[in-house]
A and B are shown apart, each in its own frame.
Chain A
């Protein structure tokens, strides 16, 4: 066995090589050496991403049985199925870092792993399905497009595939909103109400301002992250405000103004107190989302056990 002293220079050498590689923008594959902190950072981020896809199925699933037309039900079901598929894909990508899906699910249940804060808000009306597709998926795309060039190759490949589907979702969400804005007074009211409730939480999806972002420094150096939270948020606002105006929706921000000099919108103050409150467990649906996932997981235990028992029996025969 090598002693700690003798491994040290080797580790340092590997680290130097890794830093050089990431600095040059080269991709890291699962078999490549990587520092423990890089691995941990990615496990945290990718499992959170996977959990978000899966927990996000709940607010949308809430309207599946009440979708107002066969076409609407088809589109919604297919979308949720895509999200589940993304979750699956991301779990597998995260497993290349030496963690199992079971472990990731345990961490979700224990509270160690998080999921996107946005899904702690409720989907109250059908218009919320439009708003989630348009705003939430819209915000997610901006983030994910940036992640297509992230340094860890399996994550980057997952993002390339996922982005293609997400842009469909965003268009479908926008279509729901547009149809409702062309509809009856009640539908327009429903759409505006959904806009009012989802706009600010969507802006919060990009995370705190860069000055307050806890995991940023290493992530930038290792090219896991390539754009700041504020850059991505600005990008989202600039493309979305115009879409809202086009169909007659009002963005619920009295400070929103076009800034000619920066060629982008200035926007009002985000309520970070609300963000922190919800992240720390006091949002409208935190308890509901997690206990639903735990309950379903526990209720399904006998099925998984039976499948395992059958597999063992087949092996022994």
Chain B
């Protein structure tokens, strides 16, 4: 693997995480428990589309095959996406969406804090901008988890259920492969193994404030570094890619 190939794949991974989660969050449009929350969730989706746009455009430049951000976003097949599987998990109920956000945003807080120092100027710039957004996403998710965990029996149970269900997707966020190792050596990527204990402490603290038990199950799903996903991704993509695939010659 060359450094260029590694950077392409790494940037795709960062871009896909934003792209796929933004798609999920935008499904909340006109579906949230009240209108303020509808606006908040679509606002997060908007932040992430912006992030995906910049990163996929950069990935296209790095690859050097004249692929635009839209071609990369809309014309790849299931096995060519590198987002963590947690991002593609269905919204479920509001508790499930908030738990997913907590797990991802907490990871992103540490990731982008590190990536601000990246020797790759584009990645460092994206990280600095993203960090501001992520802090807000995280504060929002955190508030809700604490509120719901301490709210009613029903809300508490729903959060606990969501934490139990999504737990097995959290480990993959910290997996590293050849791509990471090569770019860490160049000072471009972040050492994900080093972030894991920070993340675990953070999450345990929030869950305990929410009177929610942290699962002890060590089994973790894996696969996305090789483009292997859950069945949900294919359906998400067929929705997202529909017009680009049905009218390949059209410009929108």
Instruction: Please report A residues at the B interface, Cβ cutoff 8 Å.
Output: 54, 57-58, 61, 64-74, 77-78, 80-81, 84-85, 87-88, 91, 126, 176, 179-180, 183-184, 186-187, 292, 296, 299-307, 309-310, 313
Given contacts A66-B239, A81-B46, A184-B247, contact A57 B74 (CB under 8 A): no
Given contacts A69-B74, A70-B70, A81-B43, contact A302 B23 (CB under 8 A): no
Interface bracket on B: 35 or more
Secondary structure at the A interface, as helix, strand, loop or mixed, is helix
Instruction: Please report B residues at the A interface, Cβ cutoff 8 Å.
Output: 23, 26-27, 29-39, 42-43, 45-46, 49-50, 52-53, 56, 69-70, 73-74, 93-94, 147-148, 150-152, 154-155, 158, 239-240, 242-244, 247, 249-252
- Measured CB to CB, the closest approach of chain B to A136, in angstroms, equals 16
- Which of A88, A183, A310 touches B39 (beta carbons < 8 Å)? A88
Q: Which residue of chain B is the closest to A70 with respect to CB atoms?
A: B53
Q: Is the CB of A77 within 8 A of B26?
A: yes
Q: Name 14 A/B residue pairs within 8 A (Cβ), A-sorted.
A: A64-B29, A73-B49, A80-B42, A84-B35, A84-B42, A85-B39, A87-B35, A88-B39, A296-B33, A303-B148, A303-B155, A305-B151, A306-B147, A306-B152
Q: Is the CB of A184 within 8 A of B23?
A: no
Q: How many A-B residue pairs have CB under 8 A?
A: 131
Given contacts A186-B250, A306-B151, contact A69 B35 (CB under 8 A): no
Q: Which residue of chain B is the closest to A305 with respect to CB atoms?
A: B152
- Measured CB to CB, the closest approach of chain A to B23, in angstroms, equals 6
Q: Is the CB of B50 within 8 A of A74?
A: yes
**With A and B bound together, what is the CA distance between A313 and B152 in angstroms?**
10
Q: Is the CB of B151 within 8 A of A179?
A: no
Q: Is the CB of A88 within 8 A of B35?
A: yes
Q: Given A87-B35, A304-B34, list of 12 further CB < 8 A pairs?
A: A64-B27, A65-B240, A66-B240, A69-B244, A71-B53, A73-B49, A80-B42, A88-B36, A183-B252, A186-B250, A296-B30, A306-B152
9 cross-chain pairs, A with B, having the tightest CB-CB distances, nearest first: A300-B33, A306-B151, A306-B155, A68-B243, A303-B33, A68-B252, A61-B29, A57-B30, A61-B30
- Measured CB to CB, the closest approach of chain A to B96, in angstroms, equals 12
- Which of A65, A71, A84, A180 touches B27 (beta carbons < 8 Å)? A65
Q: Is the CB of B247 within 8 A of A302?
A: no
Given contacts A292-B30, A307-B151, contact A183 B250 (CB under 8 A): yes
**With A and B bound together, what is the CA distance between A180 and B243 in angstroms?**
13
- Measured CB to CB, the closest approach of chain A to B235, in angstroms, equals 11
Q: Which residue of chain A is the closest to B40 with respect to CB atoms?
A: A81
- Which of B49, B56, B93, B247 touches A74 (beta carbons < 8 Å)? B49
**With A and B bound together, what is the CA distance between A184 and B31 in angstroms?**
34
Q: Is the CB of A183 within 8 A of B23?
A: no
Q: Is the CB of B53 within 8 A of A126?
A: no
Q: Which residues of B lie under 8 Å from residue A74 when comparing CB positions?
A: 46, 49-50, 53
Q: Is the CB of A300 within 8 A of B150?
A: no
- Which of A57, A71, A180 touches B29 (beta carbons < 8 Å)? A57
Q: Which residues of B lie under 8 Å from residue A306 when comparing CB positions?
A: 147-148, 151-152, 154-155
